[in-house]
Homo-oligomer: A and B are copies of this chain.
Amino acid sequence: MTGANLLPGCGRTKAIAVLAALSLSACTMTVVEAPAAPTAPAAAAVPSVPMGQQWLYGSAEGAISIRQTYAQLTSYALAKAKARPADSVIIDEATGKPFACGNKPLAAVFDADETLIWNIGPMRWFALTGSEFDAKTWDQWEKTGTGKAAAMPGALEAMAALRAAGITPIANTNRSATNAAGSEQTLAAAGLGEFKHGETLFLMGDDATGSSKDQRRATIASRWCVVAMAGDQLGDFRNAFNKPEAPPLARRTMATAAPFDGLWGNGWFLFANPVYGPSIRGGFDDIFPPETRWEPQDQQGAR
């Protein structure tokens, strides 16, 4: 037993605080001010790997969860492709209805970070150095990370199966358009095949709407019949869902209300990411509904 590894260290606290505030996929990169909180002695020699990263990047369970979602997506997309659907799974925000498929070629749209690839290079760096997320380091990662990002479990098999069925994988990511070459090379080096900027790779800066992916989705849907869409953050599906400032329960209610409830696992596929993003927030009253409050009988009233 390496018991020490089970103990999340306090040295990483700051790094997590800011990673939690960052959505790589659909947020502006807001660095949240960490309040003056109890901090560990600076001398903490060896930081620990954050729990979310242990589960997602390291564990059997994390890998299986990702594989399952890839299998679910692939099976859904292949069945849809056979039947040639009338509608894309992308919603036209102007009308609230899905874009029409017409005779467009088939495609599946993926976020990149923590959807096609795991960014274990910079995540290790931030955790190891106890440093906060910073845009400059991330920019370097987009430029120089080729060969250091890992295709997510099941992603290679999914890309192969989709392409064999005539479905083109497309990436729609908030990586920067100025680093297009780096991201093309990173995806290719991970074994995921060709993603070409402007054709099958859409980046932040491609249009004037910043981190919202809606307009890029509309551009994609004007050219392709999109049979499946995947991401790890709500903004990968609709920018209207991307309200990191909303209380967790309100976000959850919004994203799982009709008619969207029927789309999850059924055209829209979300990959588990307990590592960063607007999903990682909330105090006790947000996370634990009052009706489920419980305390051990011998300690009642202790709090």
Whether the Cβ atoms of B1 and A245 lie closer than 8 Å is yes
Interface pick from A105-113, A164-172, A281-289: A281-289
Whether the Cβ atoms of A273 and B38 lie closer than 8 Å is no
Contacts A62-B279, A71-B266, A125-B296 given; indicate if A17 touches B8 (C-beta within 8 A). yes
CA distance A20 to B5 in the complex (A): 10
Contacts A6-B20, A38-B9 given; indicate if A284 touches B128 (C-beta within 8 A). yes
A286's closest neighbor in chain B, by CB? B58
A227 at the interface (CB under 8 A from B): no
Interface string of A253-278 (1 = CB under 8 A from B): 01110000000111001111110011
Whether the Cβ atoms of A137 and B34 lie closer than 8 Å is no
Contacts A44-B38, A59-B252, A64-B270 given; indicate if A125 touches B233 (C-beta within 8 A). no
A145 at the interface (CB under 8 A from B): yes
Q: Which of A1-22 contact B (CB under 8 A)?
A: 1-11, 13, 16-17, 20-21
Task: State how many copies of this chain the complex holds.
Answer: 2
User: Which of A38, A43, A56, A153 has most B Cβ within 10 Å?
Assistant: A38
The distance from the CB of A269 to the nearest CB of chain B, in whole angstroms, is 7
A302's closest neighbor in chain B, by CB? B129
User: Which of A67, A68, A273 has most B Cβ within 10 Å?
Assistant: A68
A252's closest neighbor in chain B, by CB? B60
CA distance A261 to B286 in the complex (A): 37
A251 at the interface (CB under 8 A from B): yes
Contacts A9-B38, A38-B40, A38-B41 given; indicate if A55 touches B58 (C-beta within 8 A). no
Whether the Cβ atoms of B272 and A57 lie closer than 8 Å is no
User: Can you name 24 A-B pairs with beta carbons within 8 Å?
Assistant: A5-B282, A6-B32, A7-B17, A7-B34, A7-B37, A16-B51, A20-B51, A39-B40, A46-B283, A52-B274, A54-B279, A55-B274, A58-B249, A59-B252, A60-B252, A62-B272, A62-B274, A68-B69, A71-B266, A120-B292, A122-B294, A125-B296, A129-B302, A149-B292
- Given A5-B281, A7-B17, A129-B302, 7 new contacts (CB under 8 A): A2-B281, A38-B41, A38-B44, A49-B282, A64-B270, A65-B271, A71-B266
